[in-house]
C-alpha cells in the first residue's frame, strides 16, 4: 500500500479500492501515528467520506469518544480561565487547537491537543501570571537557564500546570520568539482579534489564524504532529476562503503587513502539494515573491519527508535525517549565532549526561 494512503483521506478523496483488512489496518496505524484518527471520525460523519468496516468503525468511535471527553475538559478549563480574565478586565484570546475547537471551525473537528494556548499583551503578563497563581496555575519546575530562556528569548511564559486538575496552559505574548528573524508586531494581532459569536472568548482574525499555524509548523522545527498541523492549515484555508470572497487577497496583504510571507509561501506550497488544497493559481503566484529562490528543491524534499506520519510505512532511511536538519534550521531561524551555539552545546551536554545516567 502506498504511504500516501492517509493523505487521500485528509484530502477528502477516499479511495474506493481500499477494502481489504490490511489496507484499513494500515490507514488506522497511519492515522493514529499522525494524531488524526479522531479527525477521520468526524470527516466520516460530516463529509460522508467513506463507509468503514465494523472493526475500523470501533476505533473511530473510540477516538471520537476520547476527543469529546477532552473537549468537555477544555471547555471547563476555559470557563475557569474566563472568570480570572473577567476580574482582570482582559480579553481571553485563544490560540491554535483551543481556538479551532471553541470557534466551531472544521479544523477543530477531532483536533486533539495537549495544551491550552492563549495570547496576552506583553505588558500584562505579570498581572495575568500572578492572578492565575491564586487560582491554582503554577509554573512547571525548571532550572535557572531555562527560566531565563523563556523570559529573555521566547514568545511565551514557561508552561503552567493546574495544581489540582493537571491541565497545561501556555501563555503567549507573540506567535514567534523575540530572537526570531521573523517577529511580527503583536499589537497588530491583538487589535485584529475577533470575538466568537455568543461567547466571551476571542480568537485571532482568520488570516492571522492561518499565518500563526503556518509559522508554528514551518518555523517551529517539531514534526511529530506535522501532518495534523498541515491538515489544520488545509481546513482553515478551505473554510475561510469559502466564507469570504476576499480572503485570499486579505491573506496576502496580512502576510506582508506582519512580515510572515515566507511561512505563508510554505503553507500554500505544501498544502497544495500534499493535501490538494484548492488555492487559486493567482494566489500561488503572488506568494512566490517570498520563496527566496534556489532552495525549493531541497526544501521540497525535506518537508515531504518531515510531514509524513510517524509510521514505518511512511518513512525511509533519510526521513529521520531530514527532520533533524529541519530541527537545526528552526534553531538557526529563531536564534542569532551568539545565542544559538551556547544553547545547542548546553542542550547536547545535558542530553549526553542523561543518557550516561540511564546506561
- Cα–Cα distance measured from residue 246 to residue 256, given in angstroms and rounded to the nearest whole number: 16
> For the chain, which domains are there?
5-358 (3.30.460.40)
- Could you say which DSSP state residue 107 is in? G
| Three cell numbers written together for 26 | 494500515
User: Is beta strand 115-119 parallel, antiparallel or unpaired with respect to 137-139?
Assistant: unpaired
Do strands 168-172 and 115-119 pair parallel, antiparallel, or not at all (unpaired)? parallel
Q: Where are the beta strands (DSSP E) in 192-257?
A: 194-195, 201-203
Q: Cell 517577529, residue?
A: 183
Residues ≥6 apart with Cβ < 8 Å to 275: 7, 10, 11, 230, 231, 234
Contact 171, 154 (CB under 8 A): no
Contact 231, 224 (CB under 8 A): no
Looking at residue 282, its pLDDT comes to 92
* d(C-alpha 4, C-alpha 14), whole Å: 11
Q: List 118's β-bridge partners, or say none.
A: 94, 171
pLDDT tens per residue across all 359 residues of the chain: 233 445 555 554 444 455 667 778 888 888 888 888 898 888 877 766 667 788 888 998 999 999 999 999 999 999 999 999 999 999 999 999 999 999 999 999 889 888 899 999 999 999 999 999 999 999 877 766 666 666 666 777 788 999 999 899 999 999 988 877 788 999 999 999 999 999 999 999 999 999 999 999 999 878 888 999 999 999 999 999 999 999 999 999 999 999 999 999 999 999 999 988 999 999 999 998 888 765 688 888 999 889 988 887 777 888 889 899 988 888 778 766 666 666 666 666 666 655 555 54
> Tens of pLDDT along 57-80?
899 899 999 999 999 999 999 999
CB 229 within 8 A of CB 217: yes
Residue 308 gets which letter from DSSP?
S
The three three-digit cell numbers of residue 102, written as one number: 471553541
Q: Residue 37 corresponds to which cell in the numbers above?
A: 484518527
Quick one: which of 134, 133, 139, 127 has its CA closest to 88?
Answer: 127
Q: Supply the DSSP string of 313-334, one letter for each residue.
A: GG--TTHHHHHHHHHHHHHHHH
- pTM, two decimals, is 0.87
Reference 118, options 150, 152, 77; nearest CA is 77
Amino acid at each position: 500500500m502506498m504511504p500516501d494512503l492517509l493523505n487521500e483521506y485528509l484530502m477528502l478523496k477516499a479511495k474506493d479500492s481500499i477494502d481489504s483488512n490490511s489496507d484499513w489496518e494500515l490507514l488506522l496505524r497511519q492515522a493514529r501515528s499522525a494524531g488524526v484518527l479522531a479527525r477521520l471520525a468526524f470527516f466520516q460523519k460530516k463529509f460522508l467520506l467513506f463507509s468503514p468496516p465494523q472493526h475500523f468503525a470501533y476505533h473511530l468511535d473510540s477516538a471520537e469518544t476520547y476527543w469529546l471527553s477532552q473537549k468537555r475538559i477544555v471547555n471547563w478549563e476555559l470557563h475557569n480561565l474566563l472568570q480570572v480574565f473577567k476580574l482582570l478586565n482582559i480579553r481571553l484570546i485563544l490560540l491554535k487547537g483551543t481556538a479551532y475547537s471553541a470557534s466551531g471551525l472544521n479544523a477543530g473537528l477531532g483536533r486533539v491537543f495537549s495544551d491550552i494556548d492563549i495570547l496576552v499583551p506583553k505588558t500584562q503578563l505579570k498581572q495575568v501570571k500572578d492572578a492565575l497563581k491564586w487560582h491554582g496555575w503554577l509554573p512547571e519546575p525548571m532550572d535557572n537557564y531555562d527560566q531565563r530562556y523563556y523570559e529573555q528569548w521566547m514568545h511565551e511564559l514557561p508552561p503552567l500546570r493546574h495544581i489540582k486538575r493537571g491541565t497545561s496552559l501556555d501563555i503567549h505574548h507573540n506567535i514567534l520568539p523575540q530572537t526570531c528573524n521573523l517577529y511580527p508586531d503583536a499589537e497588530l494581532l491583538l487589535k485584529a482579534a475577533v470575538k466568537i459569536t455568543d461567547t466571551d472568548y476571542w480568537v485571532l482574525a482568520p488570516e492571522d489564524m492561518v499565518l500563526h499555524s503556518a509559522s508554528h509548523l514551518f518555523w517551529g522545527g517539531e514534526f511529530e504532529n506535522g501532518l495534523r498541523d498541515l491538515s489544520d492549515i488545509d481546513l482553515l484555508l478551505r473554510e475561510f476562503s469559502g466564507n469570504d470572497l476576499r480572503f485570499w487577497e486579505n491573506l496576502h496583504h496580512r502576510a506582508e503587513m506582519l512580515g510572515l510571507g515566507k511561512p505563508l509561501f510554505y503553507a500554500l506550497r505544501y498544502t497544495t502539494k500534499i493535501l490538494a488544497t484548492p488555492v487559486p493559481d493567482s494566489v500561488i503566484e503572488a506568494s512566490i515573491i517570498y520563496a527566496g529562490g534556489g532552495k525549493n528543491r531541497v526544501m521540497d524534499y525535506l518537508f515531504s519527508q518531515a510531514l509524513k506520519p510517524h509510521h514505518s510505512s511512511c518513512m525511509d532511511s533519510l526521513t529521520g535525517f531530514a527532520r533533524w536538519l529541519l530541527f537545526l534550521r528552526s534553531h538557526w531561524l529563531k536564534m542569532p549565532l551568539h545565542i544559538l551555539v551556547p544553547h545547542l552545546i548546553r542542550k547536547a551536554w545535558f542530553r549526553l549526561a542523561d543518557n550516561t545516567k540511564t546506561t
